[in-house]
Structure 1
Amino acid sequence: MNTVSADPQLAEPYLLGWLASLGLDVEYVRAEGNTLYYLGENGEEIPVLDFAGGYGSLILGHNHPEIVAHAQQLIGSQTPVHAQFSRHPYANDVAVALNRILRRELGTEENYSAIFANTGAEAVEAAVKHAELDRGLRLAALREELAENLAAARDAVAGGARVAPEAYRLVGVEEREGADGFEALVAEIERRNAEQTGRPPVLLTLEGGFHGKLVGSVQLTHNEGYRTPFAALATPSRFVPAGNAPALKAVLENERATVFDLVVEDGTVSVTERNSPVFCAFVLEPIQGEGGIRVLSEEFAQEIQRACAEVDCPIIIDEVQSGMGRSGDFLASSALGLRGDYYALAKSLGGGIAKTSVMLTRQSRYRSEFELVHSSTFAKDAFSCLISQKVLEMLEADDGAAYRAVRDRGAKLMDMLAGVRADFPDVVKDVRGRGLMLGLEFHDQSGSGSEAIRESAPLLGYTVAGYLMREHRIRTFPTASAVNTLRFEPSLYLTDAEIDRLEQGLRAVCGLFRTHDGAGLTGTAAEAA
């Protein structure tokens, strides 16, 4: 039972109408574990099994009693939220705890510095901003070094040093004797260096990726529907096909920037070619969430690591949805042997209550200047940090029992999904994922014998979500950029009974597709024969 207000609908009214057309416009009044509740016509609570899991934000479930008690204690003790520009030891405690976990999973002694934010998209943008600040500072240092070497070469030529003939050939100017020839060489070097060092930053990311919908992060999101309307507002990204090593190498080679440097050695001036820092970052998800729950292969992850190291392109790993233990490891990327220069964490970091995120930068790349040019009003407050610290303690307790539970529950859920696919290969195209971040992809239904199913094919996953909600009281949604794929991201407390209930719902919907029962799927009147 949803309360209908007499006031005009001004809060995203179009979206509300669309949800209503699918039967998803439910007002939930209570939540616990993997269950949401709404009120029936007589005011009774009606439970809904939640497999959407806050889009991955609820690894510990809705309103975990330990987290709720901790939050109540913090609020009851009047813990300050707005104490900006002061000492925040609780933020450092979270950073220390995160580094302890990263050192274990990455096998490194290098620390990562923490910048806090509120959402995953903000953490991604903070990482990109820091990477660009770092690139700009490296570029400035390179320009200064080139200028110093040029001045030294001029002094050497004035003092009688010879210019190596190969220098003219490398730069592409005609060799001439004397100062005029040298200055012609210098002029071309300066022209080309200015062109190369003045190039805009290159951002690389993967096809199918999703990194948010803010002005900058939306340009890293592959879905054109989200990105194209705002393309003029930010630097566009180069999208690399996931798993395609030759394409990755080709993009890096095509975008690579080089400069000419003058070297004086043994009375001879020569020219050498050097890389210029044009690459801002390579941004990726180890498990693409909105792209259809697609796991990056270990082989391609290692290829990205090698290729980026060769051109000094930092790697930003977006673990907003896949991190915090959801894959069965704290970082999904660590199981791939992938080490990032930056990490973005959010969602479950707040324990389902706090709205918080963090960007981590390895200290060998960290620029302290960033702290003076980037800030956030609500970031790094005591409440969200202390909640995050509690979440990390719970995940790490009992030698990582939470991660073992994710692996166990994820394997059980995956086995069930695989069984549904085996019995309905004509309906289910694929099941994939890791831990408790799993997806089930339906075959395209645009050729169905049911008109209703054919009409629903462009947004198939949402129609299925409406059916599961209406008939089975199960809540899940498709992935935003791959709408034929349903996502399953419950908490680690998922029970066998809850898995069985989902199985019943999925087998029922597969039966509807197989028999072309559009009326059963959509809840409408039976189709005319």
Structure 2
Amino acid sequence: MTLHANDLVDTELHRAVSQVGLDVEYTRSRGNTMWARGKDGGEIAVTDFISGYGSLILGHNNPEIVARAKELLDRDTPVHAQVSLRPEAASVAAALNRIVHREFGTDEPHHAVFANSGAEAVEVAVKHAEMDRRLRLAELLVAVEEHITEARGAIAQGTAALAPAVLTALGLPATAAPEVALDALEARVRAFDDHTHPAIAPRLLSLVGGFHGKLMGSIQLTHNPQFRTPFTELSAQSRFVPVDRPDALRAVFEAERTPLLDVSVEDGVVDVVERDAPVFCALLVEPVQGEGGIVPISPEFAKELQSLSAEFDCPLVIDEVQTGAGRSGAFFAGSLLPLRGDYYTLAKSLGGGLAKTAVTLIREARYRPQFELVHSSTFAKDAFSSGIALKVLELLEADGGAAYGVAAERGARLVEALEAVRAEYDDIISDVRGVGLLVGVEFADRSAVGSPMVRQTQPAGLFGFLVSGFLLHEHRIRVMPTGSAPNTLRLEPSIALTDDEISGLAEGLREVCAILRDQDDARLTAFVGARTF
């Protein structure tokens, strides 16, 4: 059997996308444009609305970022200098702290742990949160042991008596001796120190529709069963909570809270005290759910998330991998709600489309320095990627953060144009939603009333890919459906988006809608047999 080179990378994926014309080779890119290799060997310009799944807020091969990359390479910048001072990474952390302080109105320091991708940044946050949880549990157990010792001494000296409530709480008869009760209580406490004890297993919470990566740990925080269920036995499972349902979130917290019995000595009485053991590891939230269909979290739900996480002492991890670095019209999309986290994860656009870098910011109140001794990454915080990230931050923050205003204005103009298409074809497009330059176009479910092709592709989750293929070949526009909502097209262009590019997208969507309304399958799929690239 002879294999071609293309058969050794993503073979099945390429076979699948070739059916809808997405098996295209791109030869170069700049701004919002990519050039595809035509069948005649020439180049065909394509407007890119995918932008590296949100990695290109400043566009493909931004000239200033490219210049910085060349400068760093030309002066032999050390990429590998592990276990040394990393001034470039420290400068990135300082710059991000200034932005956090401005956008969230706080002066609390945020420690930076660097990584290589968004999924790794999420795993850093969860690993750190679990270390913090275990340390908080250990501190609580030490305190309870001290209280039991104090109670033993008071009872032995005759300065305190055991309250009947202690025996009742422990399920002991009223005739049980105080020493027996305290022994039983101590045994319970020590059982909590067993890492295999199911009562103190970490509780991870995420939202229905959420996406936080596809690594071994992060995949368990991603809601889509297609991605998650083949690997459920590999790591801790997440409890998924519906979006905009604070009642459901409270119910999960109440159901999972785990009491730990303690005692107090006061006014000559040893009484029982019930404390909540720290079982909640983290609650993960995207300010706008990207793969879930570009679904913004409402300010009202954000307020409830903030309140409930504080009430139950559950750290909030705000996943800004896709929404961060200015795409929303602010650096942190969470600041627009507002929704303040204990952890923030950043990646994608932070690397300017050239460097693979990510960072997890951890607020001082949660930070555990011990984490630095048990987590590391070969390429994290290297001078090259940090130097690129510094240039990205410089460009975003220039002129008082003018880039954020451009993202908001361009996003509003894009939504306006798409809403005009939806008004003409409200039977075809059911919704247009998003924040800034993260916009979703949701097509109505026509699996029961559409053409044979629509009835076949929508239930199979292939409809969005078919529309993407049509727009690519017929209108030279590159879009893609979201991973967990295949009827929704994702639009994540850079701030260089022009009115002409917006108009071109609107024109292409109008034709798609007209074809779907006419149920013209021949027109919808004609490009498959007449490809020019």
Q: Please classify the TM superposition score into its range, dividing by the shorter chain length.
A: over 0.9
Residue 185 (1) aligns with residue 185 (2): no
Deviation, structure 1 residue 419: 1.1
Q: Who is 2:56 aligned against?
A: 58
Matched residue SS, 1:483: coil
Q: How does 1:408-447 map to 2 (within 5 A)?
A: 408-447=409-448
Q: Distance in 2 between matches of 1:41 and 1:283?
A: 45
Instruction: Identify the range of structure 1 (39-48 vs 354-363) with the bigger mean alpha-carbon deviation.
Output: 39-48
CA distance in 2, matches of 1:382, 1:442: 44
Other-structure match for 2:155: 157
**1:266 matched residue in structure 2:** 267
Q: Measure how far apart 1:188 and its partner are.
A: 4.2
1:152 Cα deviation after fit: 1.1
The equivalent residue for 2:19 is 21
- Tell me the equivalent position of 2:111: 113
Checking the alignment, whether the CA contact within 8 Å between 1:410 and 1:434 is kept in structure 2 is: yes
TM-score, normalization by structure 1: 0.96
Q: Displacement, 1:369?
A: 0.5
Asked if 2 retains the 8 angstrom alpha-carbon contact of 1:34 and 1:490, the reply is yes
> SS of the residue aligned with 1:499?
helix
How far the C-alpha of 1:159 sits from its partner, in A, is: 1.3
Report what 2:127 is aligned to.
129
Deviation of the 1:168 alpha carbon: 2.8
Contact 2:145 2:186 in 1 (8 A): no
Output one character per residue of 1:269-310: Cα deviation in whole Å (capped at 9) or x when no partner.
111111110000101101000000000011111101111111
What is residue 341 of structure 1 aligned with on the other side? Answer: 342
Match of 1:311 in 2: 312
1:160-191 C-alpha deviation (Å, 9 max, x unpaired): 12112233334443322xxx422343344345
CA contact 1:173–1:188 (8 Å) conserved in 2: no
Q: Indicate the SS of the match to 1:234.
A: coil
Shift of 1:489: 0.3
How far the C-alpha of 1:503 sits from its partner, in A, is: 0.3
> Who is 1:145 aligned against?
143
User: In structure 2, what is the Cα distance between the partners aligned to 1:238 and 1:285?
Assistant: 16
1:483/1:36 CA distance change after superposition, 3 Å = same
Indicate conservation of the 8 Å contact 2:117/2:356, yes or no. Answer: yes
Question: Alignment identity in percent?
Answer: 55
2:318 partner SS = strand
Task: Summarize the Cα distance change of 1:41–1:70 in structure 2 as closer, same or farther, 3 Å threshold.
Answer: same
Partner of 2:238: 237
Within 5 A, what are the aligned runs for 1:37-56? 37-56=35-54
1:520 alignment partner, one of 512, 520, 523: 523
**Aligned twin of 1:475:** 478
Q: Distance in 1 between matches of 2:4 and 2:227?
A: 33
Displacement of 1:7: 4.3
Please name the residue that 1:375 is paired with. 376
CA distance in 2, matches of 1:249, 1:173: 32
Structure 2 CA distance, aligned partners of 1:15 and 1:485? 20
AA partner of residue 391 (structure 2):
K
Task: Mark the runs of 5 or more structure 1 residues left unpaired by the alignment.
Answer: none
Query: Shift of the alpha carbon at 1:338?
Result: 0.9
1:86 equivalent in alignment to 2:84: yes
1:389 is matched with 390
Q: 1:230 to 1:328 in 2, by over 3 A?
A: same
Q: TM-score, normalised by structure 2?
A: 0.95
Cα-to-partner distance string for 1:21-44 (whole Å, 9 max, x where unaligned): 110011100000000001223332
Residue of structure 2 in register with 1:404 after alignment: 405
Q: Cα–Cα, structure 1 residues 525 and 218, in superposed 2: closer, same or farther, change >3 Å?
A: closer
Tell me, in whole angstroms, the C-alpha distance in 2 between the residues paired with 1:524 and 1:99. Answer: 50
Aligned equivalent of 2:174: 175
Say whether the 8 Å CA contact 2:24–2:37 is kept in structure 1.
no
User: Equivalent residue of 1:369, what SS?
Assistant: helix
Could you tell me how far apart the structure 1 residues matched to 2:296 and 2:13 are?
30
Partners of 2:528 and 2:469 lie apart in 1 by 16
Amino acid in the other structure paired with 1:165:
P
Distance 2:387 2:202 in 1: 37
Distance of 1:190 and 1:467 partners within structure 2:
68
Aligned partner of residue 264 in structure 1, secondary structure: strand
Equivalent residue letter for 2:497: L
Partner Cα distance (2:51, 2:120) in 1: 21
Residues 256 and 302 (structure 1 numbering): CA distance in 2 closer, same or farther, change over 3 Å? same
Q: Measure, in 1, the Cα distance between the counterparts of 2:262 and 2:6.
A: 67
Is the CA contact 1:35–1:49 (under 8 Å) kept in the aligned structure 2? yes
Structure 2 residue aligned with 1:493: 496
Q: For each residue in 1:131-166, what CA deviation from the matched residue of structure 2 results, as whole angstroms up to 9, or x when unmatched?
A: 000011111111111111111111111111211223
In 1, the alpha carbon distance for the partners of 2:181 and 2:146 equals: 16
Which has the higher mean CA deviation after the structures are superposed, 477-486 or 194-203? Answer: 194-203
Q: What is the letter of the counterpart of residue 181 of structure 1?
A: A
- 2:204 maps to 203
The alpha-carbon deviation at position 518 of structure 1 amounts to 1.3
Aligned length: 519
Contact 2:450 2:516 in 1 (8 A): no
Residue 524 (structure 1) shift: 7.1
Distance, in Å, in 1 between the alignment partners of 2:212 and 2:450 is: 37
Distance 2:244 2:185 in 1: 38
SS at match of 1:141: helix
Question: In the alignment, is the contact (CA less than 8 A) between 1:196 and 1:257 conserved in 2?
Answer: no
Change (3 A) 1:195 1:248: farther
Q: Provide the rounded CA distance (Å) in 1 between the counterparts of 2:509 and 2:92.
A: 40
- How far apart are residue 394 of structure 1 and its match? 0.3
Counterpart residue identity of residue 514, structure 1: R
Letter paired with 1:81: V
Taking the aligned partners of 2:84 and 2:4, their CA distance within structure 1 comes to 46
Deviation, 1:339, is 0.6
Local SS of the residue matching 1:523: helix
- Aligned match of 1:466: 469
Q: CA shift at 1:8, angstroms?
A: 6.3
Residues 519 and 525 in structure 1, CA contact (< 8 A), matched pair in contact too: no
